[in-house]
Amino acid sequence: MAASREPAALYPDIATQGSLAAALQAVADKEDLTVSFQASNSDPLLHASVRSVVPHRTVMTVSAWAVERRWSIRGCESFQDLALVEGNTQDLAQVAQAAQAWHDAVELSEIRRAAPFVHLTGRFEVPDHDPERLTESEWQQLRTEASEVDWPEYRALIEAAYAEPALRGLYPFTSHWTLRFSTSTRPRLTVVPLCLHPHRQKPYTLSTLYMGEVVAEAPSAAETVSMALRHLPSGLGPVTSGANRTGRVRAR
């Protein structure tokens, strides 16, 4: 594993400018962009941010890597603080282009067109925080993620669960790649006691508590979902807003 280096040694030009925000601003001005960057108070050489003109987006954060010369970006929706866009690049001008598009509230797909290094997580924006739409957004994120990882069993499980209306109507989330469900959205989940575990080249397993005793196993994702339906509690209503609950469940 490569060791981290002093920021001033890895980014001497940034150090000369005084902060990552100042360096980004210089690039933006050169590119005739109008976006403004804010410096980090704690690590000005490594971190910067840019605000959006719309309240349903958080600030986009820009972070410098510690082991090689590269920058990462992350932009989230403000209600659940979940990523809409991510990415990393060695081109500071591309970072500035992505930041401009984020600031201007252009469509997510247009951010990627403006800066091709940007990765769309699959989530879409839900400005009114409608629980049903947030649930759809999370399913889209999970399906996008599953299509990108080299894990056929995980991908099959996500798709099989999504194909079942009773599960598709629940808010999905994962913890260490275990598929779980809630009857409320983030930020405060109401967890359903049902955990579907994919395994590489092994049977799928089902438990009613995370890291709890396995109650069943199956050779395929479809059979696992069928078993899950038999263990699904009755009377689960439509997904509600997690903003209306007290307490909080942490999940990836």
Q: Does residue 111 sit within a domain?
A: yes
- State the burial class of residue 177 (Cβ atoms within 10 Å of its Cβ: 0-12, 13-18, 19+): middle
What's the full length of the chain, in residues?
252
**The predicted structure's pLDDT at residue 209:** 85
The gap from C-alpha 179 to its chain's centroid, in whole angstroms, comes to 15
Q: Please state the pTM of the whole predicted model.
A: 0.91
Q: Is residue 84 domain-shared with residue 146, that is, in the same domain?
A: no
Q: Does residue 250 sit within a domain?
A: no
Question: Using an 8 Å Cβ cutoff, are 145 and 129 in contact?
Answer: no
Confidence tier at 211 by pLDDT (50, 70, 90): confident
CA dihedral 220, 224, 226, 230 (to 10 degrees): 160
The gap from C-alpha 144 to its chain's centroid, in whole angstroms, comes to 11
**The predicted structure's pLDDT at residue 8:** 87
Q: Is residue 116 domain-shared with residue 135, that is, in the same domain?
A: no
* Final residue in a domain of this structure, among 120, 145, 163: 120
- DSSP 8-state assignment for residue 242: G
Q: Does residue 1 sit within a domain?
A: no
Tokens linked to 154? 């995980």
Tens digit of each residue's pLDDT (9 = 90 or more) over 65-120: 999 999 999 999 999 999 999 999 999 999 999 999 999 999 999 999 999 999 99
Q: Which of 81, 99, 77 is nearest to 89 (CA)?
A: 99
For the chain, percent of residues with pLDDT exceeding 70: 95
* Final residue in a domain of this structure, among 67, 85, 120: 120
Confidence tier at 3 by pLDDT (50, 70, 90): low
**The predicted structure's pLDDT at residue 122:** 98
Q: Is residue 58 domain-shared with residue 149, that is, in the same domain?
A: no
| For residue 132, pLDDT beyond 70 | yes
Question: Could you give the CA distance from residue 247 to residue 252 in angstroms, rounded to a whole number?
Answer: 17
Q: Is residue 96 domain-shared with residue 77, that is, in the same domain?
A: yes
Q: Does residue 93 sit within a domain?
A: yes
Q: Is residue 66 domain-shared with residue 158, that is, in the same domain?
A: no
Q: Does residue 59 sit within a domain?
A: yes
Q: Does residue 125 sit within a domain?
A: no
Q: Is residue 12 domain-shared with residue 93, that is, in the same domain?
A: yes
Question: Could you give the CA distance from residue 242 to residue 248 in angstroms, rounded to a whole number?
Answer: 9
**The predicted structure's pLDDT at residue 212:** 80
Tens digit of each residue's pLDDT (9 = 90 or more) over 11-42: 999 999 999 999 999 999 999 999 999 999 99
| For residue 192, pLDDT beyond 60 | yes
Q: Starting from the edge strand earliest in sequence, which strands make up the sheet with 171-175, in order? A: 171-175, 178-182, 191-197, 204-207, 214-218
Domain count, the chain: 2
Give mean pLDDT, residues 211-216.
88
**The predicted structure's pLDDT at residue 35:** 98
Give mean pLDDT, residues 210-219.
90
Q: Is residue 142 domain-shared with residue 54, that is, in the same domain?
A: no
| For residue 249, pLDDT beyond 60 | no
Q: Is residue 99 domain-shared with residue 161, that is, in the same domain?
A: no
Q: Is residue 101 domain-shared with residue 43, that is, in the same domain?
A: yes
Q: Is residue 90 domain-shared with residue 154, that is, in the same domain?
A: no
Q: Is residue 106 domain-shared with residue 171, that is, in the same domain?
A: no
For the chain, percent of residues with pLDDT exceeding 90: 91
* Final residue in a domain of this structure, among 77, 100, 120: 120
Which domain does 202 fall in, by range? 131-244
Q: Does residue 252 sit within a domain?
A: no
**The predicted structure's pLDDT at residue 79:** 96
Q: Is residue 138 domain-shared with residue 113, that is, in the same domain?
A: no
Q: Does residue 69 sit within a domain?
A: yes
